[in-house]
Amino acid sequence: MRAAFVVAVLLGLGCSPSVPPNIVLIIGDDHGYTDFGFMGAPVVRTPHLDRLADEGTFFPVGYATASVCRPSLNTLLTGLHPHQWELRLRQLERSGIQRARWTEIQDVQTLPRLLAERGYTSFQAGKFWEGTFDMAGFTLGMASAKKNTRNLYELMGGESLRLVRETSKPVYDFIDWHREGPFFVWFAPYLPHKPHDAPRRFTRLYQNAELPEETKRYYANITRFDAGVGELLTYLEREGLREQTLIVYLSDNGWEVSSGVRSRYGGPKGKNSLYEVGFRTPVIFSWPGHIPAGRASAALVSTVDVFATLLDYAGAELPADRSGRSLRPVLEGRTDGVRDVIIGAMDEVRASVAAGQPPADGERDTRAGGRFLRDRRWHYLWYEEGDDELYDLEEDPAENHNVAAQHAERIEEFRRRVREWDAETRRGFAPSP
């Protein structure tokens, strides 16, 4: 699995199951797409995620819908692109519903609500930006309001922060109580997110590596997260639940280790940028006996597709206003992909990328955002403020050489497709006449 990826024609494993699976959605936090053993990383240690990839089918070219956490996680809850969510909020405001923006999720068809219609109970664990667990339709969860909770940030700083960093017991307790299933678990530790403060048992693994200290600390946090995943897998196996459980892994956004840029977003082409390392994440699907093991697919995958795929396996209907496409035909070998391009957007991006230098202390490091298009070879970036960029990912995976000037016709075609996508994804969210 650590060798170069082989594009496999996936083989179906029989008829659709008569009983829907339990679902565990594992969400990493600020994890660069190259930083896994199964993605070819030579130093960082991720044995449990490697095993999960070995036991399932994974998509090396997966894309989150944002390169920062909240809008990306919102997509996993709602199946909406971030700009669609903003349009949805305006719809609610026009309808006369006036609430704090972090409570609006209670008026939307979310993944746990749609799964509940198929008999699922659900548990929210870890990072979660949309109010309390019940606002999003979870049965139970770690994000629960206390009497003195005044805003979203107080919720975020509470019980949910403890997942894996301190304990995963609330997840195991929920599964014990609902083991007859089907159940859905949102498992989203704040890892390998900063602070990169892993205990000694993880940092010692990298102490002799010829790496910058910041990289060693980041890698140690990755292995810390991986260990939490391993404990979860061990628990499911010990309790006899693994064969009935579909496990999906992805990261909410990418990460680039900082190279001197003074920013909480890490390196300049990572988080809160339009570049590959900010958006890209491998996506793993593992369900023994139902999803082929040891397979890598070159299909282009968006996290809106993960929302659609989980509903498909649960036997639930995808709402008509969601643009994701179920990956089940790819996983079962009936097709080799569901899209030929991925298109995404950010309202704001890193200003330091455009400036070519780190921001001054205290300076706001943002500028107006833009759109991107990614096909199997090319990555096109269009900015509201600034020139177009185009990268040949086969020749330049680090995106160091902008070749837009040499490909005027290709740029025009990509621009057209971005405009069409923008119009299509806004339909149904426009103001009433």
pLDDT for 184-223, tens place per residue?
999 999 999 999 999 999 999 999 999 999 999 999 999 9
> Which band of pLDDT confidence, cut at 50, 70 and 90, is reported for residue 9?
very low
Neighbours of 344 (CB within 10 A): 24
| pLDDT value of position 358 | 56
Neighbours of 51 (CB within 10 A): 18
* Widest distance between CA atoms in the chain: 65
Kindly state the percentage of the chain with pLDDT values over 90: 72
| pLDDT value of position 186 | 97
> Which band of pLDDT confidence, cut at 50, 70 and 90, is reported for residue 5?
very low
| pLDDT value of position 385 | 85
User: For all residues of the chain together, what is the average pLDDT?
Assistant: 88
Six token digits for residue 13: 């494993």
Give counts: helices (H), strands (E), the chain. Answer: 13, 13
Six token digits for residue 425: 């994804």
| pLDDT value of position 21 | 97
Measured in whole angstroms, how far is the alpha carbon of residue 411 from the centre of its chain? 28
pLDDT tens digits for range 401-429: 999 999 999 999 999 999 999 999 988 76
Reply yes or no on whether the pLDDT at 266 is more than 70. Answer: yes
pTM flag (> 0.85): yes
Reply yes or no on whether the pLDDT at 12 is more than 50. Answer: no
- Distance (Å, rounded) from C-alpha 37 to C-alpha 45? 6
| pLDDT value of position 431 | 47
Query: Which single residue is written with the structure tokens 């994974």?
Result: 58
Six token digits for residue 192: 């390998």
> Which band of pLDDT confidence, cut at 50, 70 and 90, is reported for residue 148?
low
Instruction: Name the DSSP class of 58.
Output: E
Reply yes or no on whether the pLDDT at 342 is more than 70. Answer: yes
Neighbours of 204 (CB within 10 A): 11
Six token digits for residue 314: 């649960």
Instruction: Name the DSSP class of 266.
Output: -
Handedness of CA 329, 32, 286, 2 (dihedral sign): positive
Task: Determine the straight-line distance between the first and last CA of the chain, rounded to whole angstroms.
Answer: 54
> Which band of pLDDT confidence, cut at 50, 70 and 90, is reported for residue 97?
low
Domains and CATH numbers, the chain: 22-340 (3.40.720.10), 343-426 (3.30.1120.10)
DSSP string, 60-123: EEEE-S-SSHHHHHHHHHH---HHHHHHHHHHHHHTT----GGGGGGGS--HHHHHHTTT-EEE
CB 53 within 8 A of CB 233: no
pLDDT top residue among 19 and 25: 25
Q: Mean pLDDT, to the nearest integer, of 129-153?
A: 79
> Which band of pLDDT confidence, cut at 50, 70 and 90, is reported for residue 91?
confident
Q: Mean pLDDT, to the nearest integer, of 34-50?
A: 97
Q: Mean pLDDT, to the nearest integer, of 132-139?
A: 93
What does the buried/exposed string (b/e) look like for 409-433 if buried means 16 or more CB atoms within 10 Å of the residue's CB? eebeebeebbeebeeebeeebeeee
Six token digits for residue 87: 């349009």
> Which band of pLDDT confidence, cut at 50, 70 and 90, is reported for residue 15?
very low
Reply yes or no on whether the pLDDT at 95 is more than 80. Answer: no
Q: In this predicted structure, which of 1-15, 203-217, 271-285, 386-400 has the lowest mean pLDDT?
A: 1-15
What does the buried/exposed string (b/e) look like for 253-262 if buried means 16 or more CB atoms within 10 Å of the residue's CB? bbbbbbeebe
Q: Mean pLDDT, to the nearest integer, of 118-131?
A: 93
| pLDDT value of position 363 | 56
Measured in residues, the chain has a length of 433
Handedness of CA 248, 243, 168, 107 (dihedral sign): positive
